[in-house]
Amino acid sequence: MIGTTVGIDIRDEMVVAVAVRAGLRQQVVTGAATVPLTDEAGLAEALRAVCEQIGMSAGGCVAVMPFNRLSFRTVKMPFASVKKIGQTIAYELETMLPIPVDGLVADFVVSNRAPQPDVLAAVAGKEFLAEYLAQWQAAGVNPAVLEVRAVPLAGLLARENVAPDCGLLLDFVGTGGTMVLFAQGRIVLVRDLPGDGEMATEPARAEFCRSVLATIHSHRGGNGERLVPEVVFVTGPAAGAAGMAAALREGLGLPVTLVDLAARTSVRLTEAVAERWDGLSMDGALALALRGRRGAAGGFNFRKDAFAVDRPLHRFKREIIWGAAFAMAFVALVGANLGIEYYHLQRRSRDLDGRIKTIFSEALPQVTRIVDPVQQLRVRVNEMKRAAAGRANTWAEMSVLDFLQEISGRIPVTYTVRLSRMAVDPEGAIIKGETDNFNNVDGIKKGLAASPLFREVTISSANLDRTGSKVQFELRIQ
């Protein structure tokens, strides 16, 4: 996610904050600070100071719960569905805890991929959680996530490509330490191990190693799973003490590696941060920031149920999802309808274009290059109108009745004439009919030719009919 995430690690002796800005290609540590945690100052005052040092005035972050207020239980579940586990985990824990589950907040991680998996549950009291959050809010900070210390760092190590199938993280805090056992990329066991105040001595370190081995042995005996760590990762200020790594190797019989999360990941430190960077103290806060507010597989979060972060849109998540689904379906239907309509319109347009071209070819067969048939026809009609106007004469402008009156007035009244057809066009007129003899045909021609309206009258044909008693004629008038 693009943006800046702040991880705040609450340790026994100090508060550590690390700010990570995530970009498209790289994550950059833009701020890091530590503030001593004393009884006099209190948590709220230390939080204000550390936020001021990294430039975080107010807002959300990823933080941790105090370990001494948490209880852990391993539960065998009859199904592997995370959703079903979340719905029933409280009932499974009810018989294992001395107080009612109604007063607790529980979260869990699935420890293996079996059909009936082991689930590691973490439990905190609601009353304490409310008081704890009040201290944060008094400092102007509202944690978006409340994790378990060292679990995000162990999760990052467990998911590394080079990580062993089974590993152990030891985070030294104050006079003791937190141990996190992970196997096959999943968190299996989390315990807080108190230590002797003199952890710098060899006997105290040896006793701490015996506690670690006894805890692993007890877990192995409880669930029957034989987990043997292949390597031990150590972090925390005390991890860098002289002789600590050698004492752990000897006491645990395993190779020991100091965690340097900044070097193991792709994050980049700014120049100002690099000058004061202390990986053993700050890796926990860095792991919280890398975890992100949206969480990661294999982590805890106590900001849930009544303590969930109030997101105005989150409460309408179901309605928004359904609304978006209906909107997408509506858009899909409208798009399909428009697509079908567009297809039919295109098909009709192609059909009309074909019919127009057919009519054009019938009207103007001499034109072989058809570009815009409608425009080409319009141009041709205009040309014909102009040609007709140039050839117009007086009789062509008369009405049909006036034209018939002029013809009838020019035919001698003594002739018996029956007209059968008359056609008038811009070029002139053609009349067909029959009369008694050929002399009448010549008389009709001479009578019409005498009209001032006609320029020329010609006999197109004159023939006897089948009976031989009548002459059929055709005259062309111009």
CA-CA distance, 210 to 39, in Å (whole number)?
Answer: 31
Q: Which region among 6-15, 242-251, 254-263, 351-360 has the lowest average model confidence (pLDDT)?
A: 351-360
What is the pLDDT at residue 350?
87
- Indicate whether 199 and 173 sit together in one domain: yes
User: What local confidence, expressed as pLDDT, does residue 313 receive?
Assistant: 47
pLDDT tens-digit series, residues 78-136: 999 999 999 999 888 988 888 888 899 999 999 888 889 999 999 999 999 999 999 99
CATH of the domain at 412: 3.30.1360
In this structure, are 295 and 402 located in the same domain?
A: no
Contacts of 319 (CB under 8 A, 6+ apart): none
- 145 with 235, same domain: the answer is yes
Q: Are residues 431 and 466 in the same domain?
A: yes
Q: Are residues 231 and 328 in the same domain?
A: no
**Same domain flag for 242 and 161:** yes
CB-neighbour burial class of residue 88 (10 A; exposed 0-12, middle 13-18, buried 19+):
middle
Phi then psi for 78, rounded to 5 degrees?
-80, -5
Of 265, 286, 310, the last residue of a domain is: 310
Is the predicted pLDDT of residue 210 greater than 50, yes or no?
yes
Same domain for 159 and 272, yes or no, is yes
Closest C-alpha to 464, from 439, 431, 434: 434
Range of the domain at 442: 395-477
Asked whether residue 315 is domain-assigned, the answer is no
Give the ranges where 299-425 is alpha helix by DSSP (H). 317-363, 373-390, 400-410
How far is residue 88's CA from residue 339's CA, in Å, rounded to a whole number?
50
**Which of 116-120, 364-368, 409-413 shows the lowest mean pLDDT across its residues?**
364-368
Q: Is the pLDDT of residue 33 over 70?
A: yes
Query: Going along 111-160, which residue ranges are E strands?
Result: 118-125, 141-148
In a domain, 462, yes or no: yes
Q: What is the pTM of this model?
A: 0.65
**Domain assignment of residue 425, yes or no:** yes
335 against 223, higher pLDDT: 335
Per this entry, what is the length of the chain? Answer: 478
Q: Give CA separation, 190 vs 74, 101, 259, in Å.
A: 10, 21, 18
Considering the domain architecture, whether residues 207 and 64 belong to the same structural domain is answered as: yes
The answer as to whether 376 is a domain residue is: yes
**Torsion from C-alpha of 364, 370, 374, 380, nearest 10 degrees:** -40
Same structural domain, 139 and 233:
yes
Domain boundary among 288, 310, 332: 310
**CATH code where residue 102 lies:** 3.30.420.380
Distance from C-alpha of 416 to C-alpha of 440, rounded to nearest angstrom: 8
User: Is the same domain home to 202 and 335?
Assistant: no
451 part of a folded domain: yes
For residue 136, the Cα-to-chain-centroid distance in whole angstroms is 35
Closest CA to 20 of 128, 156, 190: 156
Query: Mind listing the pLDDT tens digit for each residue in 448-477?
Result: 888 888 888 899 998 988 888 898 999 998
Residue 316 within a domain: no
The model's pLDDT over 185-209, given as tens digits with 9 standing for 90+, comes to 899 999 998 876 667 788 889 999 9
pLDDT at 198: 67
Pairing of strands 268-269, 27-36: parallel
| Mean pLDDT within 300-310 | 88
Helix, strand, or coil (residue 213): helix
One-letter amino acid at 336 equals: A
Q: How many CB atoms sit inside 10 A of residue 215's CB? A: 15
Contact criterion met (CB below 8 Å) for 235 and 149: no
Co-location of 415 and 333 in the same domain: no
Check residue 400 and report its DSSP letter: H
What is the rounded average pLDDT of the residues 23-35?
Answer: 88
Average pLDDT over residues 3-31: 89
Q: Considering its fold, how many domains does the chain have in total?
A: 3
**How much is the pLDDT for 451?**
85
CB 415 within 8 A of CB 434: no
Q: Residue 438 falls within a domain, yes or no?
A: yes
Q: Looking at residues 143-152, what average pLDDT do you find?
A: 93
Final residue before a domain boundary, out of 363, 389, 415: 389
- Do the strands 457-464 and 471-477 form a parallel or antiparallel pair, or are they unpaired? antiparallel
Say if residue 295 is in the same domain as residue 426.
no
For residue 234, is it within any domain? yes
Number of helices and strands in the chain (H, E): 13, 18
pLDDT tens figures, 273-300: 999 999 999 999 999 999 876 555 568 9
